[in-house]
Amino acid sequence: MQNFYTWWTDKPDINNPGTIHQILAYGNLEALKDLKKNLGEQKLKQVFLEKPQKVYTPSAFNFISKFILGISDQIDEARYLKTTPRHIG
């Protein structure tokens, strides 16, 4: 039986949107720099905008969207913040 849960790995799958969001939300500056270098800024922005995940605190969301990714357009925070209710349906 294959286990789909990964608790820790020294080589994360950076092509997985879930992994990308986890690194963006919880990674240190070195991890963010490596992710941006290995994935590319355009691909990173594309995944962030097209496949949002509710894993961010308000401060982490603002830091990532404005300073790390340089996104100046308005973004629906409810799709990213773990403190907002989920919209089902």
Give the pLDDT band (50/70/90) at residue 4: low
Q: Which percentage of the chain shows pLDDT scores above 70? A: 87
Average confidence (pLDDT) over 5-33: 86
Return the minimum-mean-pLDDT range out of 1-5, 17-21, 24-28, 64-68: 1-5
What tokens were used for 69?
């990714």
Rounded to whole angstroms, the Cα distance separating 40 from 33 reads 10
- pLDDT on residue 1: 43
| Domain ranges across the chain | 17-79
Q: What are the two backbone dihedrals, phi and then psi, of residue 81, each rounded to the nearest 5 degrees?
A: -80, 130
Mean pLDDT of the chain: 89
**Prediction pTM value:** 0.82
